[in-house]
Chains A and B, each alone.
Chain A
C-alpha cells in the first residue's frame, strides 16, 4: 500500500495528544502516596496465596487476619476459595502464625505461594533500575550520534522517555500494582521504542542522501509513509504475542503483558508522531540558532572592517 498522510504538519496536535495522556499520569503520581501502587517487590512485605478446601469468604479471611493485627492487609480473591493476601513484612514466626490461624479457624488449606521480600531489596531494585536506564540512555545517544547525528539521538531518547511516562502514567492513574516484572517491561519498551524510531530515522537518512526538491517536512512525511506498513505490521505481531500472554498466560505475567501492551502501542505512536516531528523542530531550532550566530558574526565583522578601513 502507498500512503500519503501528512504526519508532521500537525505536529502541535500530536504533542498535545501526548501531553493529554502524560499530564494526568504525572498528576496522579503527584497526588498519590506512594507515587505508584508498588507491590512487595519494591516495598517489602509478604504475599501468601492459599486455597481452602471448603467455601470461605474474603470477610472470613480478614477476620482471622484482624485477630493477628493484620486487618489492614490486602486480601484479593483469586479463583475458587483462593486468596492472595498481601501483608507488611513478616518474619518466619509471624508467617507461621498467619497460616496456622487460617488453618485453625477456616479449615484445611493448600499453601500455594508464600513470598517475602525485604524492604532493602526493593530499594536496591529501584535504584539499580534507574541507574541502568540512565546509563543506557547516554550510550544510546552516543551510538545514534555516531551513526546518525546528535539531534536524532536526542529526539529518539525523548520519544522513549515519552513511552516510559505514558506507561507509568497508566499504572499511576489506575493504581495497577507494580511488581519486579514491571521493571523488565519498561526496559523492553525502551528497547522496542528505540528500535522502532531508528527504523524511521534510517529511512530519513537514506532519503536525505538522495534528497529531491522538497522541504524537510515533506521528506520526513515521505519517509514515515514509506515505513508505515512495516510499523503497523510489526506492532501487530507484538500485540498478538502480548494478547496471547495476557489472556492465556495467567496471573503472574499479566502485569508484564499489560505494561508491554501500553508501552508498545505508545512506542509505535511516538516513533511516528513524537520522534520524527521533534527531530524537525530541533533541526529548525539549531539552524535558526546557527543563522543568528552567523548573522551576528557577520555584522561584527563588517563593523570591525569599517573601523579598520577608517
Chain B
C-alpha cells in the first residue's frame, strides 16, 4: 500500500518536473527572440536633442510638437523600421533608431540643427525657417525638369511678398542683387533669382537641379530647416552593428555560465531542496521574461546584468527558507512539519527585507529617467517574481517531493542524523 502510494507520488513529481523543464526549454528561446533588444545589443543610434530657448523666444509646447513632426519626417526619410521618438521633459526629444546599419548617416540626418535663413544679396535675413511651412520636390509637367515648391505660413507669406515686391521693383531682371539666397546653418544651399513678386506664399525654385534626387535632397533640407527653434544634440550614442553583436554574444555566455553555476551551487549545497529551487528558478526566469515582454520592455546590457543579478538575489528567498527548514529538522520536527514551519518563519524575513528594497526601487522609478527607470522596473519585478515562486512553487514542489518515501532520507536535505535529538530519530 505504502509502496503504491510512493510510486504514485514519484510519478506525480516526475510529471510536474518534466512539465516545468519542457516549459522552460520550449518557452525560453521564443521569449528571448521576441524580446526587443536595446541599441547596445543590436547596434543603432540614441539621440537626445534639446530645443534651445533664445532671449527672444522661449520654447513652447507647440514648438516641441512641430519639432517632433520634423524629426519624424527626417527619420522616415532614412527608412527605419521602428523608430522611437518621444518627448522628455519640456524641451527634449529622445530619438532611438535600433538596428540601423549606418548610425553615422542617421546622426547626420537628424543632427542637422538647421537654422534656415533666406538672405538678400546684402546679407539681410528676410525670412527664416520658422516662416516656412513646407518644401517639396516635384517634376514640372511642361518642362519635365525637377523643381522645388515652397509654402510659407501667414507671417512668412507677408514677409516674402514684401521682399520679392521690393527686389522686383528695385532691380532689373538679371541683376545679381535680385537673388534670394537660402542658407542652412550659414551654408549656402541655393541662390535663386527672383523672377516676379510672390504675394501668395507659394514659391517655386526652378532650374539648376541635375536630378530629381538632388531636388528632393534640397527639399528635405529645407523642410528640415523649418525647425521652429534651434536644436542641439546634447547626447548621442551610436553603436556599430559589430560591437552590438559582440556584446550580445558575450552577455549570452555570461548569463548561461552564471545560471549554470548558480544552479550547481544550489544543488551541491542544498541537495534535494536545491534541485527544487533550480526548478523554481526556471519558472522565475520565465515569469520575469514574460512580464518584460508583455510590458514591451527593451533589453539592454545593464538590464541583462540586472536580470542575472536578480537570479542571484532570487535564490536568497530559497536559501532563507532552506536554512529554516534545516533548523527545524535539527530541532526534531518531522519533514512535513519542518517544511511548513520553515516557510512560515521565513515569510516575514523575506517580506521585510524585500519591502525595503522595493521602496528604494519605487523612489528610483519616480525620480529616475531612462536606464535608471528600467532598472527599477526590473528590480521590483525580480523581487515580486522571486517571492512568488519561492513561496508558492518551491513549497508545492517540496510537498510533492516528500510524497515520495524514498526521498525521506535526511542527508538529502543536508542534515546529518546525529544532529537531531535522539527522541526524534527515525520518525521522519
Contact = CB atoms under 8 A, between A and B. Distances in A.
B302 A184 contact: yes
B356 A187 contact: no
B108 interface: yes
Contacts of A250: 246-247, 250-251, 254
Interface string A41-56: 0000000010000000
B311 interface: yes
A203 B324 CA distance: 11
A142 to B, nearest CB: 9
Contact of B254 (A143, A203, A245): A245
Contacts of A180: 371
Nearest to A114: B238
Nearest to A181: B302
A184 B357 CA distance: 14
Nearest to A260: B309
Interface string A193-233: 01110110011001000000000000000000011011001
A35 interface: no
Contacts of A118: 48, 50, 232, 234-235
Nearest to B253: A248
Which DSSP category, helix, strand, loop or mixed, fits chain B's interface? helix
B369 A128 contact: yes
Interface string B310-340: 0111011001100100010000000000000
A253 B313 contact: no
B233 A92 contact: yes
Contact of A242 (B240, B253, B301, B309): B309
Interface magnitude class on chain A: 35 or more
A244 B307 CA distance: 13
Interface string B372-398: 100100010000000000000000000
B379 A244 contact: no
Contacts of B368: 128, 132
Nearest to B314: A237
B238 A230 contact: no
Residue of B103, B235, B361 with highest tally of chain A CB at under 10 A: B235
A183 interface: yes
Interface stretch (A12-20, A57-65, A133-141, A302-310): A133-141
Given A112-B242, A230-B320, A237-B265, A121 B234 contact: yes
Contacts of A184: 302, 306, 371-372, 375
Interface residues of B, number: 70
B247 A115 contact: no
Contacts of B253: 248
B356 A238 contact: no
Nearest to B47: A116
B359 A139 contact: yes
A202 B347 CA distance: 11
Interface in B236-292: 236-240, 242-243, 246-247, 250-251, 253-255, 257-258, 261-262, 265-266, 269
Nearest to A120: B234
A117 interface: yes
B357 A194 contact: yes
B349 interface: yes
A247 B256 CA distance: 13
B352 interface: yes
A113 B240 contact: yes
B353 interface: yes
Contacts of A139: 359-360, 363
Given A113-B240, A132-B368, A245-B254, A195 B265 contact: no
B363 A132 contact: yes
Interface string A142-156: 011001000000001
Contact of A253 (B236, B262, B302, B360): B302
B319 A230 contact: yes
A249 B360 contact: no
B283 to A, nearest CB: 18
Contacts of A247: 254
Nearest to A236: B265
Contact of B103 (A114, A128, A129, A131): A114
A131 to B, nearest CB: 6
B323 A140 contact: no
Contacts of A195: 313, 316, 353-354, 356-357
A156 B235 CA distance: 37
A71 interface: no
A233 to B, nearest CB: 5
B355 A128 contact: no
A107 interface: no
**Centre residue among A191, A241, A256, A260 by max chain B CB count within 10 A:** A241
B199 interface: no
Interface in B40-65: 40, 48, 50
Given A196-B353, A226-B327, 14 more contacts: A92-B233, A111-B238, A112-B239, A112-B240, A116-B235, A117-B235, A117-B237, A118-B235, A121-B48, A188-B375, A191-B357, A194-B360, A234-B319, A257-B305
Closest 7 A-B residue pairs measured CB to CB? A118-B234, A244-B258, A250-B250, A238-B312, A198-B353, A248-B254, A241-B312
Interface of B: 40, 48, 50, 103-104, 107-108, 111, 232-240, 242-243, 246-247, 250-251, 253-255, 257-258, 261-262, 265-266, 269, 301-302, 304-306, 308-309, 311-313, 315-316, 319-320, 323, 327, 345, 348-349, 352-357, 359-361, 363-364, 367-369, 371-372, 375, 379
